[in-house]
Amino acid sequence: MTIGVLVMAYGTPSTPNDVEVYYTRIRHGRAPSPEQLADLQRRYDAIGGTSPLAQRSADQVSGIAAALERHRPGGFDVRFGAKYEPPLLETTAESFRADGFDVVVGLALAPHSSSMSTDQYMSRARESLGEEIKFIPIGAWWEFPGFLEIIAQRVNDALAQIPDQRRDATEVIFSAHSLPEKILTTGDTYPEQLRESAERTAALAGVDHWDVAWQSAGRTPDPWIGPDILQVLRDKRALGVTDVISCPIGFVSDHLEVLFDIDIEAQGVARDVGLNLIRTASLNDDAAFMTVLANVVIGSCS
């Protein structure tokens, strides 16, 4: 029996002309104001016009498929579906149903889980697959063997760029995408997952000076989880920190939230306050990372 694997990610506009449609879909059918649209387009323009996320996700899907094929030839059929950009995850889920699959595994390309992020992927996939198909949703996978070890190595690689005499004044800042504070009233463990994954990674990397921050908060009137990384950078400098390793542990590929929010916006704040900021390398389709994700899928089926 071949097992279906539905790999899911947020999605991104394919071309600059798709930004408005994409933004409208994110806003659940409400078109953005001209000012909102211009601001988003400005950020895309700053990283080259569009995000590389679509290609990065495609490469990850291919990498996972190859790793699973090595484990069990013909045993898995890996397909991609996005939350907000074609191919939508519902379309891909329906393709599994049309092709007669009995079992489908759901894997979101995000290591931490939340009721307002990964859980929504899973509920939408489950509904589209229907009751005839056994659906195996994978929740948070940051604890799966191998993942934090890869992140710790990325941290150490970045730290190696800091002169030894400045190490005592260097701090590692782990970050993930902020979500509205209202998730805290439901007992959502997303913030705890970030802190625990950061703590374990710091221990693996032999890092004593570290902290967590939040980034990429939505532009809405509702309060979002903080502290925001831009403010954290200012605060760290005021406390005497000279160098910061930015480790966006909540993201697994290069895209807008990394290439703009960290490499441009956070880097700009760091320069303004006199901090040296180095970001850890993104995972993208790193072979070891692809093996970890393949093993996550295999483990879910056992």
Torsion of CA 88, 89, 95, 98, to 10 degrees: -120
The side-by-side arrangement of strands in the sheet containing 76-82 is 76-82, 3-9, 103-108, 134-137
> What global pTM score does this model have?
0.96
Rounded (10°) angle between helices 147-159 and 190-205 = 60
255-287 confidence digits (pLDDT tens): 999 999 999 999 999 999 999 999 999 999 999
Cis amide linkage into residue 227, ω under 30° from 0 = yes
Q: What is the DSSP letter of 17?
A: G
Q: How many CB atoms lie within 10 A of CB 144?
A: 16
User: In this structure, what are the phi and psi dihedrals at residue 114, rounded to the nearest 5 degrees?
Assistant: -155, 155
**Closest by CA position to 250, among listed 135, 142, 161:** 142
For the residues of 110-165, what is the DSSP string, one character each?
Answer: -SS--TTTHHHHHHHHHHHH-TTSEEEE----TTSTTHHHHHHHHHHHHHTTS-GG
User: In this structure, what are the phi and psi dihedrals at residue 39, rounded to the nearest 5 degrees?
Assistant: -65, -45
Q: How far apart are CA 60 and CA 253, in angstroms?
A: 9
For tokens 């498929």, the residue is 65
Q: How far apart are CA 279 and CA 268, in angstroms?
A: 13
Kind of pairing, strands 210-215 and 134-137? unpaired
240-251 confidence digits (pLDDT tens): 999 999 999 999
Residues with Cβ within 8 Å of 71's Cβ and at least 6 positions away in sequence, in order, are 294, 298
Q: How far apart are CA 297 and CA 302, in angstroms?
A: 9
- The answer to whether 302 and 268 have CB atoms below 8 angstroms apart is no
85-142 confidence digits (pLDDT tens): 999 999 999 999 999 999 999 999 999 999 999 999 999 999 999 999 999 999 999 9
Domains of the chain, CATH where assigned = 3-141+285-301 (3.40.50.1400), 147-279 (3.40.50.1400)
Please say if the pLDDT value at position 219 is more than 90.
no
Q: For residue 14, what pLDDT is reported?
A: 87
